[in-house]
A and B are shown apart, each in its own frame.
Chain A
């Protein structure tokens, strides 16, 4: 379980996250929606300790992320994260992108790491691109490699940050398909997305984020059809159109 209690985060004087409490249960798919600049990306990066927090606690399976004694590198293996901009390693082929952390973090042998990496590439349907460099892959393909790269670490949770936002419309579907597959396989996911139809389809719960605060959390039917919070209603109404 990922559990956030009263989490706050500032960038200088800018309050990006204010007193956010939220639980993500094992096996659950939670979609985080909200306008851009509301702090969604920052929140995800706080969860795996890429960003420090200024107040509250974040625990993953009972381990406090921002405790100095926590071995973050170890904890991060539990938390796969995929970024909006793919963030491929441009000097490595698709296969090497996926295999690198297996070799250096999980200390797998070369053959074992590459076999595992190939399985993950196959999972996202990119086996045939294993020797291709990121520069020669489409955005959608790069994003699927990024998903495979995160999955290869066998995380318990996947944090996905607007993984389709940088893609051309015709490439969105292939990435979403990969996420559907993950859901079917029971992966716990925290998905930041602007694809409302997709959120409604895949989410167990939807959380609406407004200017650093959690305005409303509930099942998709509540958030999209009968929002209780005025701000949610406005946001959902706007994006539905």
Chain B
């Protein structure tokens, strides 16, 4: 038993974990960006068109009912069969983005739905075209409403990136495992990597809650 063998966790190891944390953030940002764009487009389609809602419904439904790990394996296998040689980073980003897009599309649709039809009508009545109304009224209002949920999605994404360790990408989880194997000091290593995850997530989570509370206060008529 080895409770606090600090000397076992050298500066090099900590640096290694920090690099892992950096890659976790990078993965989150890339995947989050793609997921947001995809989710916005999909959510828009689902908002305006009943047909699109019916057609894309199963996609969203299935993605949300299947473990990310299974998705990762499935997509990896599929890509392999197609003969495409994807590096773990691209594969990970692709799968994470696809997965998060399913959630993002629901967030976006809820956001569009939350905007009062009368407010939109008022914009059209002033002579704004459909595109102008969307850009100046619908999007900004929807963005406000969904911001906390969107932040929550990014937080979930940070945690989801841990799964990417299974395809061999050296993000924070994988880095921790490597260091655990080298140092045989799981508690110290996990204390550090757990703290790193916490430091990435917690501030965003607190900020999201603040914004949400403020919105509840502001939107009271």
Interfacial chain A residues near B118, Cβ < 8 Å: 83, 85, 87
* B-side contacts of A104, CB under 8 Å: 128, 132, 136
Interface bracket on A: 20 to 34
- Residues of A within 8 Å of B116, CB to CB, are 87
B119 within 8 Å of A (CB atoms): yes
Q: Are B128 and A48 in contact, CB atoms less than 8 angstroms apart?
A: no
Interface string of A64-106 (1 = CB under 8 A from B): 0000000001101101010101011111000000001100110
A202 touches B (CB below 8 Å):
no
**A124 contacts the other chain (Cβ, under 8 Å)?**
no
What CA separation (Å) do A50 and B130 show in the bound complex?
12
> Taking the complex as formed, is A237 at the interface, i.e. its CB lies under 8 A from any CB of chain B?
no
* Residues of the A chain whose Cβ atoms lie less than 8 Å from the Cβ of B141: 89-91
Contact of A50 among B119, B124, B136 (CB under 8 A): B124
Q: By the criterion CB–CB under 8 Å, are B124 and A87 in contact?
A: no
A73: contacting residue among B122, B128, B140, CB under 8 A = B128
Contact across chains for A73 and B129 when beta carbons are under 8 A apart = yes
- Shortest Cβ distance from B133 into A: residue: A104
Whether B127 and A153, one on each chain, are in contact in the complex, defined by CB atoms closer than 8 angstroms, is: yes
* Among B125, B132, B219, contact of A48 (Cβ-Cβ < 8 Å): B125
Q: Which of A189-240 contact B (CB under 8 A)?
A: none
B121 CB-CB contact with A under 8 Å: yes
Interface size on B, residues (CB 8 A): 21
B contact patch SS: helix
Query: Could you say which residues of chain A place their CB within 8 Å of the CB of B128?
Result: 73, 101, 104-105
| A6–B121 CA distance with the chains assembled, in angstroms | 25
Whether, in the assembled complex, A121 has its beta carbon less than 8 Å from a beta carbon of chain B, the answer is no
Bound Cα distance from A105 to B132, whole angstroms: 8
A91 lies within 8 A of B144 (CB): yes
Q: Which A residues from 41 to 81 make CB contacts under 8 A with B?
A: 45, 48, 50, 73-74, 76-77, 79, 81
B218 at the interface (CB under 8 A from A): yes
CB-nearest residue of chain B relative to A133? B218
In the complex formed, the residue of B with least CB distance to A78 is: B127
Partner of A83, one of B122, B129, B136, B218: B122
Q: Does B180 contact A (CB under 8 A)?
A: no
Bound complex: CA of A79 vs CA of B126, how far in Å?
8
Q: Which residue of B lies closest to A101 (CB)?
A: B126
- Chain A: CB-nearest residue to B143: A91
A135 lies within 8 A of chain B by Cβ: yes
Across the two chains, which residue of chain A brings its CB closest to B129? Answer: A73
The answer to whether A89 and B121 touch (CB under 8 A), given A101-B128, A105-B127, is: no
* Interface mask (A91-135 → B, CB under 8 Å = 1, otherwise 0): 100000000110011000000000000000000000000000001
11 A-B residue pairs with CB within 8 Å: A73-B129, A77-B126, A85-B118, A87-B118, A88-B122, A89-B119, A91-B140, A101-B126, A101-B127, A101-B128, A104-B132
Q: Which 6 A-B pairs have the closest CB atoms?
A: A87-B122, A101-B126, A76-B127, A77-B127, A105-B127, A81-B125
Which residues of B are at the interface with A, using a C-beta cutoff of 8 A? 116, 118-119, 121-129, 132, 136-137, 140-141, 144, 218-219, 221
